[in-house]
Structure 1
Amino acid sequence: MLSTPEIVTRPDQPFAAIRVSLERRDIPSRAPPLIGEVAGWLAAHGAAPVGAPFFSYLEMPEDGPLVMEVGFPTAALLAGDARVRTGTIPAGRFARLIHTGPYDGLYEANVALGEWLGKQGIAHPMPEQSPGAYDAALLEIYETDPATEPDPQKWKTEVAFRLGR
């Protein structure tokens, strides 16, 4: 189930994340374990997430591996290291909707948000236009923790496209 899309404005958001390059088919097996790794890194550095974990898709070529980050928002910009990078998702306008249900429906949620933007006549940059940067971030924010809510039909994930400042 999808909520009605909307446009929101967000402030700068510091984060800590692990950047990986992988094939789309490998996302379900390789990306989720990184959530725990980033959470452990934050705890070891005396910090805590200030929101739900996210995946940010930074490069999405038609064929070949994509580049994504798996991370958490933080209260302040931290110093990263060789494994965990830190940065800031820039302030700006985002189109967003909430997908309720299993993760296998997230591709369709992303497509639906893109189609809605098209019908509104709102252009949104794609990661291919700003590879590796947050200027065209496509975010999936995992609001429901499957460890505390085992029913996938109740999982809520925000899908958000950064539209610019």
Structure 2
Amino acid sequence: MPAIVDRPAQRYVAERATLGIPDFPRIADRLPALIGTLTAHGVALAGAPFFRYRVLHPGMRFTVEAGVPIAGDFTPGEPAFLDELPAGKYVLDTYVGAPDGLAAATEAVLAWGAGEGITWDRTDGPDGEEWGGRLEVLRTNPVEVPDPARWVTDLLFRIAG
């Protein structure tokens, strides 16, 4: 059952790509390198890595960021960049299972929100749906838990306001 939670603003370092689902590994595979760069520079990690969906384009394409929360300041080299997740109220739901079930889990949360009368932090932009805070937070390290059926992902959707 989804819950509404308050989240503070959170700085992060990320890389961004616009792609379709078959090409998703291209951005997902950037997370280990980002984490390695941050730890090599002594930057304190401030949470689990995540994917932030910025724009949902027509035709099952999206602009997504692979991000790592950090404590403090850091100026990464390109193509990485520093940004901040906005503070606010978010709907949180936790999904356990392989990534191929995330789309259905996401739809269930969005349907729940519609039933609750929630207005999402999203607008219709020239390239598609622009989201202020739509995240998949990766709570499981696949190296430590190789079975995708046991992976834990927090789905977070920022509420408008």
Provide the TM-score with structure 1 as the length reference. Answer: 0.87
- Show the counterpart of 1:35: 31
CA contact (8 A) 1:58 1:127 kept: no
Change (3 A) 1:34 1:122: same
Picking from 137, 142, 145, the partner of 1:149 is 145
Separation (CA, whole Å) in 1 of partners of 2:117 and 2:49: 30
Q: Once the two structures are superposed, what CA deviation does each residue of 1:27-80 show, in whole Å capped at 9, x if it has no partner?
A: 1x2122111111122123221322111000101111274211001111123223
Q: Once the two structures are superposed, what CA deviation does each residue of 1:5-36 show, in whole Å capped at 9, x if it has no partner?
A: 01101001010111112122211x21221111
Change (3 A) 1:5 1:51: same
**Structure 1: 5+ residue stretches without partners:** none
SS in 1 for 2:12: strand
Picking from 138, 143, 155, the partner of 1:159 is 155
1:1-165 to structure 2, matched below 5 A, reads 4-27=1-24, 29-63=25-59, 65-126=61-122, 128-129=124-125, 136-165=132-161
CA contact (8 A) 1:142 1:156 kept: yes
RMSD: 2.2
Change (3 A) 1:152 1:24: closer
One-letter code aligned to 1:154:
R
- Structure number with the higher strand fraction is 2
**Offset of residue 125 of structure 1:** 3.0
One-letter code aligned to 2:146:
P
**Offset of residue 110 of structure 1:** 0.9
One-letter code aligned to 1:6:
A
SS in 2 for 1:74: strand
Identical amino acids, percent of aligned pairs: 31
Separation (CA, whole Å) in 2 of partners of 1:128 and 1:81: 31
Q: Once the two structures are superposed, what CA deviation does each residue of 1:107-156 show, in whole Å capped at 9, x if it has no partner?
A: 1111111001000011113364497xx96221000101111112222211
Separation (CA, whole Å) in 2 of partners of 1:38 and 1:128: 31
Change (3 A) 1:116 1:109: same
Change (3 A) 1:36 1:161: same
- Structure number with the higher helix fraction is 1
Provide the TM-score with structure 2 as the length reference. Answer: 0.89
CA contact (8 A) 2:57 2:63 kept: no
Change (3 A) 1:80 1:130: farther
